[in-house]
């Protein structure tokens, strides 16, 4: 499901803070009940790091979202996005990535290498803050 962006949200991404600012707004658009489920988004970027699209690829339960790498790369390949950022929320409020989070990130990074699509970051977000895999040396 493609997420509609306002014109002022189609910005050039220079840091995890830039991405979090937009994704926090998108998360907060959801109802309170909707925010109690894990969402997994893929953000496609142009070569200039300007946002091309944001796609919700999985809507899960309160503790997990099933992520298929084929779905992660589907729109990136069709739109010829050379870079992507992964973002998912933790309804629990914990910013610590789980082992499953780390495993899926590694699988997607490896798949991206084959497709020559660079995974720039993976953010775990809550309503108040975020954790960046790249900033914390996990990517």
The pLDDT of residue 64 is 84
**Range in 1-5, 45-49, 65-69, 113-117 the model is least confident about:** 1-5
Going by the DSSP 8-state scheme, the letter that residue 60 receives in this structure is -
Q: Structural domains in the chain?
A: 13-132 (3.40.140.10)
Note the maximum CA span of the chain.
39
Does the pLDDT value for residue 41 go beyond 80? yes
For the stretch 89-99, what's the b/e string if a residue is b when 16 or more beta carbons lie within 10 angstroms of its beta carbon? Answer: bbbeeeeebee
């Amino acid at each position: 499901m493609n997420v509609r962006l306002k014109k002022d949200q189609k910005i050039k991404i220079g840091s995890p803070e830039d991405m979090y600012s937009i994704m926090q707004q998108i998360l907060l658009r959801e109802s309170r009940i909707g925010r109690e489920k894990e969402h997994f988004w893929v953000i496609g970027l142009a070569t200039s790091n300007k946002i091309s699209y944001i796609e919700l690829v999985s809507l899960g339960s309160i503790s997990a979202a099933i992520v298929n790498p084929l779905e992660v790369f589907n729109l990136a390949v069709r739109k010829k996005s050379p870079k992507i950022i992964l973002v998912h929320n933790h309804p629990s409020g914990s910013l610590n990535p789980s082992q499953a989070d780390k495993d899926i990130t590694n699988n997607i990074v490896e798949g991206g290498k084959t497709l020559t699509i660079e995974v720039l970051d993976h953010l775990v977000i809550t309503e108040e803050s975020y954790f960046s895999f790249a900033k914390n040396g996990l990517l």
